[in-house]
A and B are shown apart, each in its own frame.
Chain A
Amino acid sequence: MQTEHFISTDDFCTYHNIEFSFIRNLEDFGLIEVKTIEDKPCIHEDQLVKLERILRLHNELEINVEGIDTITHLLQKINSMQEEMTQLKNKLKLYE
């Protein structure tokens, strides 16, 4: 396994000044995936953007994990609807 694409949760928590329990909580909600590499809990770099967005929602808007879970689902829905809208617009463009 390529370890260079993983970030230790310890480093992440120190950098963002958060408790590891917060990361565990997010994992319990299925919002992120934590992997153990060389006995250390890590997160894949692909999840960084998502995790940082979650942190902003938590810190700046004081939203709890349940709320973040709901927002994440709704954002996914919005995203797929926006994609579908783009595809439909492009189909309509064929008849212009």
Chain B
Amino acid sequence: MEFVDYYKVLGIDKKASEKDIKNAYRKLARKYHPDVNPNDKTAHQKFQEINEANEVLSDAVKRKKYDEYGKDWKHADQFEKAKQSAGQQQYQYQGDGGSYSGGSGDSDFSDFFSSMFGGGGSRKSRQQVKYRGQDFNAELHLNLRDAYETHQKTLTVNGKNIRMTIPAGIENGQTIKIKGHGGPGVNNGPNGDLYINFVIANDPDFKREGNNLYSTVPLDLYTAVLGGEKTISTMTGKVKLKVTPGTQNGSKVKLKGKGFPIYKKDGQFGDLYVSYQVEIPENLTEKQKSLFEELSKL
């Protein structure tokens, strides 16, 4: 746990007036407020630091204590006890590096703050300022086939199990907010939110672009030239396609509605684009070779 220089956090001088503190806080809060910095973890962290600094420096009692003990904050309670027992005599400093365990419930505040002002519960606080709990961020890895169907998943975040429904069609990089599942609020403030960022792995058979899927299937030369049928895989099973004679290498077939489900639009799907990769026969037999030569002379 490190000493936090609240003056530095707010970018003000130690002699700053109440007005200077308020102005500095307002200015920084406008810059780092979570509502103007969506999905920005660094800004959220910075905002909490600013809030904490303001909580201390804008309160005359807390500021006095903070200024008085400064970097010796770890021994603040020892000082105070000594003051009381010695009947206002000069206190003696006994730096034994005593262990302090900060209030674990005040997740919006640093351990430093909890150790100095909270957690102990012996001191009266100026006022009950409500603070929203910390937002949590988590990453959830899925494969493409998982993302194809709406399904339930149980996540464990900070020891708590959260059961959530993942709608079909969720995209890589998309974030879902679960309200109230972040850190607990302070002084009956609302809980923070949980943000789940989805990471969807590439699939070996299908590539996804938005709601459309793309696949490449091999096609033998003879079917490509003469036409025929080809069975291909889709996300929901096999489909037999008619191959027209003279199909070119790289030509595409669109299978309407066989793509990816559209997020939160039940029963609506993108399309599947199948590209044919015509395979040229290798290691020809003598007979095949002579037949191709014959063909080439026609």
Contact = CB atoms under 8 A, between A and B. Distances in A.
Interface of A: 53, 56-57, 60-63, 71, 75, 78-79, 82, 86-87, 89-91, 93-94, 96
Contacts of A86: 171-174
Given A90-B171, A93-B202, A61 B39 contact: no
B209 A94 contact: yes
Question: What 10 A-B pairs are tightest by C-beta distance, nearest first?
Answer: A86-B173, A94-B207, A61-B30, A53-B35, A90-B172, A56-B35, A57-B35, A61-B29, A61-B33, A71-B36
Given A53-B35, A94-B208, A94-B214, 16 more contacts: A56-B33, A56-B35, A57-B33, A57-B35, A57-B36, A60-B29, A61-B26, A61-B29, A61-B33, A79-B38, A82-B39, A89-B173, A93-B202, A94-B202, A94-B209, A96-B202
18 contacts: A53-B35, A57-B33, A57-B35, A57-B36, A61-B29, A61-B33, A63-B30, A78-B38, A86-B171, A86-B173, A90-B172, A90-B208, A91-B209, A93-B172, A94-B207, A94-B208, A94-B209, A94-B214
Given A61-B26, A62-B26, A63-B30, A90 B35 contact: no
B264 to A, nearest CB: 14
Interface string B173-217: 110000000000000000000000000001000011110001000
B168 to A, nearest CB: 17
Contacts of A89: 172-173
Contacts of A61: 26, 29-30, 33
A86 B174 CA distance: 8
Q: How large is the interface on B (under 10, 10 to 19, 20 to 34, 35 or more residues)?
A: 10 to 19
Given A90-B208, A94-B209, A60 B172 contact: no
Contacts of B173: 86, 89-90
A80 to B, nearest CB: 12
B227 to A, nearest CB: 30
Contacts of B208: 90, 94
B23 to A, nearest CB: 11
A68 B29 CA distance: 15
A68 to B, nearest CB: 10
Contacts of B26: 61-62
A60 B174 CA distance: 29
A96 to B, nearest CB: 7
A96 B29 CA distance: 40
A74 B171 CA distance: 24
A83 to B, nearest CB: 9
A87 B33 contact: no
Contacts of A75: 36, 38
A57 B172 CA distance: 31
Nearest to B31: A61
A38 B208 CA distance: 48
B294 to A, nearest CB: 42
